[in-house]
Amino acid sequence: MELTQVQEDALIELLNIGFGRAGASLSQLTGHRVVLEVPQVSVHPIAELEAVLRAVVADEVASVHQIFSGPVAGDALLLLEHRAAGMLKELLTNEAPLPLPLDASAREVLTEVGNILLNACLGTFGNLLQVQVSFSIPHLNLESVSDILRSLLVQREGLRYALVVHAGFRLRDAEVTGYLVIVLSVASLDRLIRAVEQWEQNDGGLQ
């Protein structure tokens, strides 16, 4: 399933609203201007996800994983390479984390960063679809991309798709890149994309 240019543009625009909200939260928390941007988004069958991720991140990553449920259900993950995770933590808190494995304080900060970003994006989707999305407690894991995908695959049956969103954090003259992965059932994705198109025609196009 490939997104049309119109769909992709609309999705980026919508995600940027959520990212903007997350950036504002982080700015308020840290006292530094934090800008979050979505330069790129793509959709892949989950079977292709490993190849897609391997092309952009190292095998070992820090991931914040949150399960969401409701009329639209799935898994949301923020993936950060270890170096990026440490750098982001340092930029946000003015304190370098201890060397790997990341210390508990760094994990907690990164968990909140993932939590803010995932909440903002999924909250935006929920508003768009006018449904309430519930979230599980987010967890931070340090593991390999293939282990993450294995745990995603064993969880649920059925054909699913992954929305892969490049997430650029810009703060204090530095840039850190992470990847947001939202795994949805075909039905959920279909619903989302149709709603996005609708939004683009009604509201988004007017902005």
Exposed/middle/buried for 166, CB within 10 Å: 0-12, 13-18, 19+?
middle
| Tokens 């399933």 -> residue | 1
CB 9 within 8 A of CB 41: no
Nearest distance from C-beta of residue 21 to another protein, angstroms: 10
Give the single-character DSSP code of 56.
T
Closest CB to another protein among residues 49, 171: 171
CA distance 117 to 105: 19
Binding pattern to another protein, positions 32-71, x when CB under 8 A? ----------------------------------x---x-
Give me the helices (H) in the chain, please. Answer: 5-30, 46-54, 82-93, 104-129, 145-155, 186-202
Nearest distance from C-beta of residue 1 to another protein, angstroms: 28
Give the amino acid at 203: D
Q: Which of 44, 76, 87, 89 binds another protein (CB under 8 A)?
A: 89
Q: Which of 111, 124, 177, 188 binds another protein (CB under 8 A)?
A: 111
Interacting stretch for another protein, rule CB under 8 A, among 40-48, 101-109, 158-166, 171-179?
101-109
Interacting stretch for another protein, rule CB under 8 A, among 47-55, 77-85, 93-101, 161-169?
93-101
CA distance 49 to 23: 27
Closest CB to another protein among residues 46, 92: 92
Closest CB to another protein among residues 41, 92: 92
Binding pattern to another protein, positions 127-146, x when CB under 8 A? -----xxxxxxx--------
Those residues whose C-beta lies under 8 Å from the C-beta of residue 206, and which sit 6 or more positions away, are none
Nearest distance from C-beta of residue 122 to another protein, angstroms: 8
CA distance 114 to 165: 13
CA distance 87 to 16: 23
- Which residues here bind another protein, judged by CB under 8 A? 25, 28-30, 66, 70, 89, 92-93, 95, 98-99, 103-106, 108-109, 111-112, 115, 119, 123, 126, 132-138
